């Protein structure tokens, strides 16, 4: 069911989060149709919509309950007038974890009229079982290593080999998706970090740790669905966490979507191009 998330504890910066996640009203929603539907739902929540820089927009968004089944955007709704594009806020930035986080993040950036960019993070998989995360690597060579890695006897040499491999992939992705551009300047801004789901939380934790070194005013983690324990752990590193669906029986992110295909590079590039055409692409600003 959709649950109310408690107020997050102190962040690594030593300050307690100043906002609490507003709970949506009871809803029969049990899973999302696809990533676009999930992003539309997140964008409609007061905890996200209320981040609008425009006070009137924020008040309206906070007063409006989220729909149970927000419609997928029509082609016409994905276009924006030059005047609307000019009102893009630079106080809030939306960063998507590729590749699956981008289709979720796009409706949020549209709703907030906020710059959109990718936050490149790679999972560090256990040697011999790469699908299971022992940690993650993010921009600035920020590494997060789970205590499970040492507990299961992973050596420094094994970790270094995995890091080298994933570092090369990070560079490839940055060159491919962002033409090798430097990370977007988030100093003093509210940053919404978006993924399509939270399983172990290792990748999102690495992303937040990387962002902390860049001096943002506030970090908000947003994901449609997540494992309750992992979501609770994220409250120790982020200022606010918005995860409306936290099923007690959680096995995989994909089980909470009706359609959950792999997000391919072509789709990522198309969304980035669309964001650019709407004046929302952070990397071009």
d(CA 118, CA 116): 7
Q: Summarize pLDDT for 207-257 with one digit per residue, the tens.
A: 998 888 889 999 999 999 999 999 999 999 999 999 999 999 999 999 999
Query: If you average pLDDT over residues 127-144, what whole number do you get?
Result: 81
Report how far apart, in Å, the C-alpha atoms of 44 and of each of 95, 208, 258 are. Answer: 17, 23, 20
pLDDT > 90: percent of the chain: 54
pLDDT at 139 (0 to 100):
73
Which of 9-23, 154-168, 238-252 is predicted with the least confidence, judged by mean pLDDT? 9-23
The pLDDT confidence band at residue 143, using thresholds 50, 70 and 90, is: confident
pLDDT at 14: 44
Report yes or no on whether pTM surpasses 0.85: no
Q: What is the pLDDT of residues 59-117, one digit of tens each?
A: 444 444 444 444 443 333 333 434 444 456 679 999 999 999 999 999 999 999 999 99
The residues near 40 (Cβ < 8 Å, ≥ 6 apart) are: 70, 71, 72, 73, 107
Percent of the chain with pLDDT over 70: 75
Complete DSSP assignment for 236-279: TTSSEEE-SB--SS-S-GGGGBS------HHHHHHHHHHHHHTT
Question: Given this model, what pLDDT does residue 88 score?
Answer: 61
Pairing assessment for the beta strands 129-138 and 142-145 based on DSSP bridges: antiparallel
Q: What is the pLDDT of residue 217?
A: 96
- Residue 259: predicted pLDDT: 97
pLDDT, mean of residues 170-186: 87
How far apart CA 84 and CA 86 sit, in angstroms, is 5
Measure Cα distances from 43 to 25, 48, 245, 261 in Å: 15, 6, 14, 21
Q: What average pLDDT does this structure show over 1-6?
A: 40
């Amino acid at each position: 069911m959709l649950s109310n998330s408690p107020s997050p504890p102190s962040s690594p910066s030593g300050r307690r989060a100043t906002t609490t996640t507003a709970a949506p009203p009871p809803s029969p929603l049990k899973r999302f149709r696809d990533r676009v539907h999930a992003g539309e739902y997140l964008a409609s929540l007061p905890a996200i919509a209320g981040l609008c820089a425009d006070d009137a927009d924020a008040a309206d968004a906070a007063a409006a309950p989220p729909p149970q089944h927000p419609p997928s955007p029509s082609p016409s709704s994905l276009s924006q007038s030059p005047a609307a594009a000019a009102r893009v806020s630079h106080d809030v930035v939306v960063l998507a974890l590729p590749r699956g986080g981008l289709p979720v993040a796009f409706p949020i950036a549209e709703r907030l009229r906020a710059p959109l960019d990718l936050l490149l993070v790679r999972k560090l998989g256990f040697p011999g079982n790469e699908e299971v995360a022992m940690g993650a690597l993010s921009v600035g060579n920020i590494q997060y290593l789970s205590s499970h890695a040492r507990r299961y006897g992973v050596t420094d040499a094994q970790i270094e080999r995995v890091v080298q491999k994933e570092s090369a992939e990070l560079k490839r992705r940055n060159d491919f998706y962002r033409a090798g551009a430097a990370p977007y300047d988030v100093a003093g801004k509210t940053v919404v970090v978006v993924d399509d789901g939270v399983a172990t939380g290792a990748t999102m934790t690495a992303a937040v740790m990387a962002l902390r070194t860049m001096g943002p005013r506030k970090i908000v983690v947003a994901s449609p669905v997540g494992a309750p324990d992992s979501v609770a752990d994220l409250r120790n590193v982020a200022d606010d966490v918005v995860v409306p669906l936290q099923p007690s029986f959680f096995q995989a992110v994909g089980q909470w979507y009706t359609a959950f295909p792999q997000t391919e590079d072509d789709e990522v590039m198309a969304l980035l191009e669309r964001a650019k055409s709407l004046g929302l692409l952070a990397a071009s600003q």
